Amino acid sequence: MPNKAEHTRWIKEEAKRLGFSFVGVSRAEHMDEEARRLEGWLNKGMHGKMDYLARNFDKRTDPRKLVPGARSVISLMYNYYTDKEQGGPDAPKISKYAYGKDYHFILKDKLKSLYLFIQEKIGQVEGRVFVDSAPVLERDWARRSGLGWMGKNTMLIHPRAGSYFFLAEVILGLDLEYDNPIKDYCGTCRRCIDACPTDAISPQGYILDGSKCISYFTIELKEAIPDEYQGQFENWMFGCDICQEVCPWNRFSQPHSEPEFEPPPALLKMGRQEWEELTEEVFRELFRKSAVKRTKYQGLKRNIAFLKKGRHEKE
């Protein structure tokens, strides 16, 4: 009879075959420490207008509420790093994760294939797959699974590959071999703290005020961006990669090999004027299957106008 070690090995090998860079496993249990930290963060209002983060607290901190009978949480990392850049130093910028096709669709398909493999290879096992679309503390599970440590910028950092990764999970009603957390290697470095133009990262690190993050303003916030942040976005119109760009661990980042994440050539060529004159028709064509659709045409136009106003005020 196959044992836990063999089941774990089969699952990790299949995940790698499907393109996931790293896979780790942790025990499905209530997250005591993480629950206390999340509660404190919410009580301070650091989630801003992201009310969904305050909902389903019990499910967010106990995977057994999401999958009754859950025994294991499989955490997976999928590389999205690219060395391709948008054209022109003055072109409004998009976070690298949104260059290509929306990762939710790509990774969900791969996770479904992995879950099907588990059913066929091991037998009928209760489980669910997740890609950033349910109350799952994905970075905490990845940390528990030994896939990296939580950096001062609150990103998960892998010691050999950096932080440009999507995280995903399979929660299973199956006992597996569990991995152990690894050491924190941020040390005395504070590059991410010093580089954040909106001071979203606490002075000591490890706490991110989501209500001050450029990604929050340009993606999550549906109302007008507060004027007090005028001129502080450093030309980011969708998301922000600053705290990753300055992180020394990202010198180990390697370009991804996922064709679906390749940016449309037109996206890389567009300069500042073309973005400022963006039409809804071009927006729909450019971001037909992209995560940028989340902000909608009017949202992106709002962000571009905010950058333009900030630039004029500086001049």
Which residues have CB under 8 Å from 57's CB, separation 6+? 35, 38, 39, 135
Predicted pLDDT at 133 = 79
Which residues have CB under 8 Å from 275's CB, separation 6+? 91, 92, 237, 304
- What is the model's pTM? 0.96
Q: Cβ(243)–Cβ(206) under 8 Å?
A: no
Q: Is the dihedral of CA 261, 266, 269, 275 positive or negative?
A: negative
First to last CA, the chain: 72
Predicted pLDDT at 65 = 96
Which residues have CB under 8 Å from 33's CB, separation 6+? none
Dist CA 92 CA 87 (whole Å): 10
Predicted pLDDT at 89 = 78
Residue segments in the chain with a per-residue pLDDT below the cut of 50 = none
Rounding to the nearest 10 degrees, give the CA dihedral for residues 27, 30, 34, 36: -160
Residue 170 forms beta bridges with which residues?
74, 129
Q: 16-34 pLDDT, tens per residue?
A: 999 999 999 999 999 999 9
Predicted pLDDT at 1 = 58
**Three-class SS of residue 222?**
coil
Quick one: which H or E segment has residue 311?
A: helix 296-314
Q: What is the CA radius of gyration of the chain?
A: 20
| Residues marked as catalytic | 132
Predicted pLDDT at 2 = 72
φ, ψ at 93 (rounded to 5°): -105, 150
Q: Cβ(233)–Cβ(306) under 8 Å?
A: yes
Predicted pLDDT at 314 = 61
Predicted pLDDT at 313 = 65
